[in-house]
Structures are given as C-alpha cells and as structure tokens.
Structure 1
C-alpha cells in the first residue's frame, strides 16, 4: 500500500505571516522620493495603513488590496513609472533586512507551524535579497521547509501549485495542499481553480472571492490549518467553498 502524501502548506509572506507597516512604509519612502511632493504620498500611505483615509484621498485607493497596491496607485498618479516602482520595491526589500522595524509574525504562528505534520512553504513575490535575515528576525527559519521567492503570483501560481503537488505525490489529491494568503487573486483564486484548499486572511474585509475558510487574521485560522493538516480529505469535505462567510 502506498504511503499517504505529506500535506503541503503554502504560506504567503507579507500580510499573512509577516505583519507590520515597515515593509510598506519603506516602499513608500522610496516611491515618494521620486515625486514632487513626497510628504503627501507618505501621509496618504500611512492613512491607508491606519484605515483612516481622508475624504480628499483618491477614490481608487478604496479598492487597493493592500498597502503595496495603495503605494503603487499613489506613485502612478504622481507620475512614477512602472519600472521605477519595481526598482523602488526591490530596494525597499533589501533595506528591510537592515531596518526590520515593526515586522512580526502573528502571535502563536511559530508554535502552530512546529506542531503540524506538513511540508511548510513560504511562497512570495518578494526578491530573495535579504530574505534570510528577515525570516531569522521573524523566528521562522526553523519551522519553514522551503522558501520560493520571485514567485510572480498570480501569473505563475498554478505552476507552483502543480509542482508542489507533484513533489508531494498528490497530483490527484489537490486537497492535500492548502494555500494561505491575504490577496485573493494571488494566493487563493488559483488554488480554488486547482481544487486545493483556500484559507483567506481577509484583513481589509475585501471578500474578493470564495474560500474554504476565511477570517480577518491568520490567528483565527489556526484551528482550520491544524485540522486540515491532520486529515485534508475530511477537512475539504466539511468545508465547502463559501463566498464571504467569516470563520
């Protein structure tokens, strides 16, 4: 009899396992420096992060999925090019390894990851530069089995999911992979399409699409992650896709 595959837990980085405003603010600083009125961009970015946008803020910000997208919207509106935005992002990520500021993991995450039997992956669009130092600062290095950077989500997300399932021997059992993230189109939409389990960290209550479990913070999804890792098939049967029901 063939051994059962080992479940694969795919975790997004920013906004999911790495919390704090520092990463976005470092990016905002780099982008703001390219504009005529840097203080205005920084103030609006901070207001977005604090969920206290003034009436004068661009209406396009209300649909931003996270702080990075908000900064991008502000930068483009101020005349910053896509190429400049990309370069600013890469520089800000390298800088974060030296200026981690308030970055942190959700409370209890290390214990959760240490206590489950799963192949634990961080899959991020971030570049690899400085990431080891960031994971060390977060205390995650000993509870993560694999890190993939420059993931180009969502474009290449299905390919990553297929590769993880193939390596786990679970090509025909996609429920043995759970994708956890805060951006539906990047982390969850491709997982739903592939038949994997989608755990939606919907911090801004965007309700962008269906998921098997959803909550405003990763902490509230810990019981679901633990239950899934123990019996993926039973878990997905007990948690059908739901459009916007909070866990």
Structure 2
C-alpha cells in the first residue's frame, strides 16, 4: 500500500499574498477605510519576515479587522470576495519552484491528497493551469481544520503511513502528530516555531528531496 501525503493549499502549494491582499482590500472597501489595506500590508510584510505570531496572512488580516471591530459578517463576505478572485490578476499566486515536476515524480510512490480550509472557488482551475490536478487522489475543501482534518488523516492512516504538509502547525501538523502521522512544516513559521516536525523548510521546494525520501523509505527523524 502506498503511503499518503496530505497537502495544505495556501502557503504550501499556492504561494503569494495575492488572495490575502485581496481579502484586506475587500474589507477596506466594505468598511470604507483605505487605511485598513495599508495597515494590512505592513502586517503581512512583518509576518513574511517571521516577525509576528500570526498563524498566516489571513490570521493577520482577520486580527486587524477584529481590532477595528469589523463585524464577522463583513469579514466573511470579504473573504468570499477574495477567494472568488483566486488565480486572477486580482489575487495572484504561484506554485513553489519545480512543484509540477516534484509531484509527477512522487505520485507513483505515494497517494496525494489536498486538504484545505478554503472553498473550492478558483482552486480546480488553478491546479488545472499548473497541470497537477490529475495527480491528486482526493481533494477536500472547507475542511474545518484542525478538527476537520482528523477524519481525513484517520482514513489515510488506515491504509498506511501518512505525511501531513502545511504552514500552520495548529491546523496542519498538530492533528497529524497526535494521530501518529509524520509532519512537514513550511512557511515563515518553519524557522520560528520550536515545535516538533519530521521535516521543515522555508517553502516545500526546500524539502522536495526529504519528502521523496519519505515516500520511498519513510525515515522518521525529527528536525
């Protein structure tokens, strides 16, 4: 039985602040405050530099909105606005360098699963554009991590070894580690957080070789 690799989307397979900036702009438009977008940009720069405790860019923007007492309804609607733009000029993202070749190289050794808290709006078109959509055995949207990731991981573990890859420890790695799966932490938090992880890198491109090694021999060394 092939092992399973469960990939997060935003900040893992799709890089760039395009959708997050669109989220901030949508909030600014809905509340009529241009300064909100400017402050969000500053927060995103600090997060990318590893200087904040935000889980990710979305958390940074949502935190600013909460501090400004923006209603949950406006924040939710602005998020939907931004996700509808995914992959367009209004919310650009890019894959980690060499992603397509990497996934095509490991698909014969591992089952690939996408699990994201994001809705599917724009995602399938994006993965088609990147010529990787056919490599995934399953794609799960609006998962509701961390709790919603548990049944996905449990089902995969019933079939064999599992590696969970993501940029938010609480959402992508902690549920996996608790169930006995291996973990890979990527993104700004990889260097900052002192949490156990089987492997880690600034982007997934930094650990292609380690993931490939895991898929073929499953080393269990923590970094």
Structure-1-length-normalised TM-score: 0.81
Partner of 2:99: 109
Counterpart CA distance in 2 for 1:203 and 1:43 is 21
SS of residue paired to 1:50: helix
What pairs with 1:1-247 in structure 2 (closer than 5 Å)? Answer: 5-37=1-33, 39-51=34-46, 62-99=52-89, 101-116=91-106, 117-166=109-158, 169-170=159-160, 176-204=161-189, 205-207=191-193, 209-232=195-218, 235-236=219-220, 239-240=221-222, 242=223
Q: Deviation at 1:163?
A: 1.9
Count of aligned positions: 218
Q: Identify which range, 138-147 or 215-224, moves more after superposition.
A: 138-147
Counterpart CA distance in 2 for 1:115 and 1:231 is 15
Unaligned runs of 5+ residues in structure 2 are none
Q: Deviation at 1:11?
A: 0.5
Counterpart CA distance in 1 for 2:31 and 2:201 is 36
* RCO comparison, higher one (Cα < 8 Å, 6+): 2
SS of residue paired to 1:41: helix
Contact kept in structure 2, 1:189 and 1:209, CA below 8 Å: no
Change (3 A) 1:47 1:138: farther
Q: What CA RMSD, in Å, does the superposition of the two structures yield over aligned residues?
A: 2.0
Structure-2-length-normalised TM-score: 0.89
Q: Deviation at 1:101?
A: 4.6
Deviations 1:150-179 (A, max 9, x none): 11001222122012223xx22xxxxx1000
Contact kept in structure 1, 2:86 and 2:92, CA below 8 Å: no
Change (3 A) 1:137 1:66: same
Change (3 A) 1:69 1:102: same
Counterpart CA distance in 2 for 1:231 and 1:52 is 35
Larger radius of gyration: 1
Counterpart CA distance in 2 for 1:99 and 1:146 is 28
